[in-house]
Every structure is written in C-alpha cells, then in structure tokens.
Amino acid sequence: MLVVLKPGTSETAAADAITRLRMAGLAVHRTEYDRRVRIAAVGDTTVVDWQEVAGWAVVESVAKLARPFKLASRAFHPHDTVISVGRVAIGGPQLAIMAGPCSVEGEEQVFTIAKAVAEAGATVLRGGAYKPRTSPYAFQGLGEEGLKLLRRAADAHGLAVVSEVMEPQLVTLLARYSDILQIGARNMQNYALLREVGHTEKPVLLKRGLSSTIEEWLLSAEHVMAQGNRQVILCERGIRTFETYTRNTLDLNAVPVVKELSHLPVIVDPSHGTGIRDKVAPMARAAIAAGADGLMIEVHHDPDRALSDGAQSLYPGQFRELVTQIRTIAEVLGRQV
C-alpha cells in the first residue's frame, strides 16, 4: 500500500504513523516527494483496515501499489533516483559512460585501457576479476589480484570502478575495491546474492537476465531494495530470441518502458547486446537516443589477444569517436556527456 501524508505533517507525527504500520507486522519504507512523506507498506497487508488508516488525521491518501514491485516503482518515488559515484551522478543530466576490458588480464593491459577511456570521456572503469563462465574449463578471472589492479588503474585516472560479484561470500571483498557492485545477467534471480548486496551501502548495477521480462527485472531490483539499499542501476544487455546473427537482441524498448515504470536509472551495454564490434557504436548511439542514462562498453587496445570477448571490444580510437557522436545526440535530449 502507498500511504501519502499531508504536506506539513510534523516529523513526530510521520514517525508515529510509520510506527503504527510497523506494529501491524508490515515492512515500511519512506520517501518524500512534492513536500509529502510517502510510505510504502509491504507484507501481509490484509491484516490492516486501510479505510481506518485513510481516516488518520495526517493521511492525505491511501492507494494500492498496482505493480508487484513497490520500492522500485515510480508511484512510490516519482522523482528520478540519482546515484552519485565518484565524479558522476548516475541518472542525472550527465550521462554515465562506463568502459574498460571484459576481463582484467594484467597491469599493462588495464592501465593502458584505463588511460584511453578516461581521456575519451569515460568516468567509470569496468573490468571483470571474477568471471561467470558457461564452461568450467574457461578462464575464470584473476580474482583479488585483478581487483587490486583495477582499483589502482582507476585511481590513477580519476575513474570509479564497477566489477561483477558472483557469490554472496565475495560481496565484502568486492566492496573493498569496487565502487559499484555488478550483478551479472546469469545471477539476476540469485536471491541470496541480491540479499547480500542489498545489505551493503554500495550502488548495485543489476543486469537484466537473458530471458527476463522487465517486470521480473524490477522485482529483482526490489529484492535488493527491500534489504535497505536503494541505489540500484539497471542495465539492459540484450535478450535471447530466435535471431542468431547477433549474439543477443538488444531490447531498447526496455529503456522508455523502465523510465515509465520506475525511478531507477537505466543504462545499456551494447557490447554484450550485439556481440559484434562494428554493431556496438550504432547501438550505443541508439541507446542514448532512446533515453538511456548511460552506457557500459567493452574497450580493449589489443582485442585479438583478449582472454574473453575480444570480438566485441572497441578499439580506443573507435570509443573516442563514439563518445563524440554521443555528445551531440545527448543534447537533443537535454543531456551532456
């Protein structure tokens, strides 16, 4: 249920209303919009007489939250959520450009790429230290060593860090080195992992599952938010369809749909979304034109020797040119790089 308090309600009165709902056994979340405290009450809402609540002196309105996600819903939080990481405020007027190698492979590699993407306009360095691999026999990443390199390379160039965490036990370790905790597509419904990152204070980048509906995706964001962490960045990265020419089908429809349903920022990963180098720039431009809050792009200075996903990585020069094009398109939507 969504309970909106009257404008001008005192803090004490608001706290009192919240306590009363809590005592009914509900989980209660609070936000403010348009000078009104808004309270989302979730759990077994049948135990409460909502007509009575509607009659409380401080209550302006009581309404059902129609969609199954509550905290992620625009009804609960009409403002766009803006998440500050390093120099960038994700979801604000400035676009978030995240770039870097698929996997961290070594010091020279990650420093070379960090320098190149920083100079081109990126503000966040991406790179995998723990890799989810379909085959148990494939390269699984450098682990903590990779995280240290990533952190040092980012710091040297004034970048924030985003890196994937694959299991609950590693969340604390990842949070030590990475500014944003990435949940990969395969783990979008790994609820133990969502719960664990929900207990941290780090922003979470939640990739859409390969065959997850937009509603399931927002419900996975809800799993994180229900633990207290409201800093979730959504990332569209392609869905599985019958078309096999591209690795996945990048679903850019999802961008305006998420913007309507939720207040959370949404970025797009055209590298995994297409899987083909020369399709990355067109789809990156398209993502921004569709209203995305940013991009996550794989860049490698020597993609032929990359240990993973080389075929979809941009060369630094291509990335620089792309950022220039993005700049003009962003202006059409009143945004900047």
For the bound state, the minimum distance from the C-beta of residue 333 to a second copy, rounded and expressed in Å, comes to 8
Show the tokens assigned to 122.
């990126």
For the bound state, the minimum distance from the C-beta of residue 106 to a second copy, rounded and expressed in Å, comes to 17
For the bound state, the minimum distance from the C-beta of residue 192 to a second copy, rounded and expressed in Å, comes to 3
Per the CB < 8 A criterion, the answer to whether 154 and 178 are in contact is: no
On the CB side of 1, how many CA atoms lie within 13 Å of its CA? 24
Q: How far is Cα 102 from Cα 307, in angstroms, rounded to an integer?
A: 8
Looking at beta carbons only, is 84 or 336 nearer to a second copy? 336
For the bound state, the minimum distance from the C-beta of residue 197 to a second copy, rounded and expressed in Å, comes to 13
- The SS3 of residue 146 is helix
AA letter at 244? T
Looking at beta carbons only, is 9 or 262 nearer to a second copy? 262
Per the CB < 8 A criterion, the answer to whether 17 and 39 are in contact is: yes
For the bound state, the minimum distance from the C-beta of residue 141 to a second copy, rounded and expressed in Å, comes to 12
Q: How far is Cα 80 from Cα 34, in angstroms, rounded to an integer?
A: 13
Instruction: Output DSSP code: residue 95.
Output: P
Looking at beta carbons only, is 13 or 276 nearer to a second copy? 276
Q: To 10 degrees, the CA torsion angle through 105, 110, 111, 116?
A: 140
Looking at beta carbons only, is 114 or 219 nearer to a second copy? 219
For the bound state, the minimum distance from the C-beta of residue 103 to a second copy, rounded and expressed in Å, comes to 15
Q: How far is Cα 247 from Cα 238, in angstroms, rounded to an integer?
A: 8
Q: Which residues bind a second copy (CB under 8 A)?
A: 27, 42-43, 68-70, 132-137, 166-169, 186-187, 189-192, 210-211, 213-216, 219, 222-223, 226, 239-246, 249-257, 260, 273-274, 278-279, 282-283, 285-291, 325, 328-329, 331-332
Looking at beta carbons only, is 58 or 290 nearer to a second copy? 290
Looking at beta carbons only, is 213 or 336 nearer to a second copy? 213
